[in-house]
């Protein structure tokens, strides 16, 4: 039997509750299903590999934060999340929740990736950081290709909801940039933190 820490059980329970609540009456059930493929894949990989590799509490917490934001985007479709109404923001034009989610992807996933590379591949802070940033950039690129492929395959309203460009022809490039910037910020913060702990 696989032993799970209390912290991981609490995070799992909280995420399951959130997921169920945000699964109720989404704006587009078809888009919700497409967006949740990512959730199903990530959760399946974490569960199946848990016996052989456990991340730190910080890594699991960062994954939890990103997935929690992602299921909100899946509920509303990313371009329709009413964050401006929630926080009383008066922003004209584009809904930037999508950009925020891509930035969060980079900032939240680069640390677990660095941790994995450091423990399993190369015990070097520099190389593990570099490989983690490359991984975030690569997955961001692949996700944009998947979005494009889904748009071509499904077409129509569903394709546009999933793609979520909001009329911006450079949407994919900007999303990848946001992910890269998020990753760089986290690596920079962890580097400064490690320097402080050395002194």
Residue-wise pLDDT tens digits, 33-72:
988 999 999 999 999 999 899 999 999 999 999 999 999 9
Domain count, the chain: 1
Residue 30 has pLDDT above 90, yes or no: no
The answer to whether residue 1 sits within a structural domain is: no
Structural domain harbouring 192: 6-198
The answer to whether residue 94 sits within a structural domain is: yes
The answer to whether residue 43 sits within a structural domain is: yes
Helix axis angle, 156-163 to 29-49, nearest 10°: 50
Mean of per-residue pLDDT scores for the chain: 87
**DSSP string covering 57-94:** HHHHHHHHHHHHHHHHHHHH-GGG--HHHHHT----S-
* Chain length of the chain: 199
Name the pTM for this structure.
0.85
The answer to whether residue 53 sits within a structural domain is: yes
């Amino acid at each position: 039997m696989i032993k799970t820490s209390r912290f991981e059980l609490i995070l799992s329970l909280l995420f399951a509750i959130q997921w169920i609540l945000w699964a109720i009456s989404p704006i587009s059930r078809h888009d919700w299903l497409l967006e949740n493929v990512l959730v199903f894949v990530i959760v399946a990989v974490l569960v199946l590999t848990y016996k052989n590799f456990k991340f730190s509490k910080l890594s699991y917490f960062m994954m939890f934060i990103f997935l929690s934001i992602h299921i909100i985007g899946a509920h509303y479709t990313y371009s329709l999340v009413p964050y401006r109404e929630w926080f009383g923001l008066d922003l004209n034009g584009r809904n930037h929740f999508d950009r925020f989610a891509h930035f969060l992807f980079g900032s939240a996933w680069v640390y677990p990736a660095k941790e994995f590379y450091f423990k399993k591949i190369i015990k070097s802070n520099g190389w593990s950081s570099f490989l983690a940033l490359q991984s975030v950039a690569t997955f961001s690129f692949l996700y944009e290709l998947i979005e494009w492929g889904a748009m071509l395959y499904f077409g129509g309203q569903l394709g546009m909801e999933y793609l979520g460009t909001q009329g911006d022809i450079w949407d994919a490039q900007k999303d990848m940039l946001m992910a890269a910037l998020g990753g760089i910020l986290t690596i920079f913060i962890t580097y400064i933190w490690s320097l402080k702990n050395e002194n």
